[in-house]
Amino acid sequence: MTCHDALDFLDDYLDGKLPWGQRIAFGLHLGLCRPCRDYLDGYRKTIEASRKAMSEQAVTNCEQIPDEIVQAILAARSQVPRSDRRD
């Protein structure tokens, strides 16, 4: 297995979907190849860091939806034609 092959297996490896034969070959390659170990480590951290940076709190910067958005939605709803409404 080359570094190029190993890279193609990364996602299946992380998802635990790599068939055992390939899993062993991948593990062997990692054991011998420091650049691939470092690459995998950074790849994992990339996924983890993007989750943290995109968490609800981090993105909206607020505990709850701002009141003016709530009011705008309720006002827009009240303009929906009567026939579409259930009340």
Partner 1 sequence: MESSISETETALVSALRAGEPAAYERLVRDYGGRILAVCERLLFNREDARDAVQETFLSAFRSLESFDGRSQFATWLHRIAVNASLMKLRTKRRHPEHSIDDLLPTFQADGHRRDPGSRWTNSAGEISEQRETQQLIREKIEALPESYRNVLILRDIEELDTETVAEMLELSPGAVKVRLHRARQALRTLLEPIFGGASK
Which of 4, 85 has the CB closer to Zn ion?
A: 4
**Range 16-75, binding partner 1 (CB under 8 A):** 34-36, 38-39, 41-56, 58-60, 62-65, 69-70, 72-74
Q: Judge whether 52 and 39 are in contact, CB under 8 Å.
A: no
Q: Judge whether 13 and 44 are in contact, CB under 8 Å.
A: no
Tell me how far, at minimum, the Cβ of 72 lies from Zn ion, in Å.
53
Contact between 82 and partner 1 by CB under 8 A: the answer reads no
- Torsion angle of C-alpha atoms 36, 50, 47, 65, degrees rounded to 10: 180
Tell me how far, at minimum, the Cβ of 46 lies from Zn ion, in Å.
18
What residue 50 binds from Zn ion, partner 1, none (CB within 5 to 8 A, per partner kind)? partner 1
| Alpha helices (H) in 1-86, listed in sequence order | 3-14, 20-32, 34-53, 56-60, 67-78
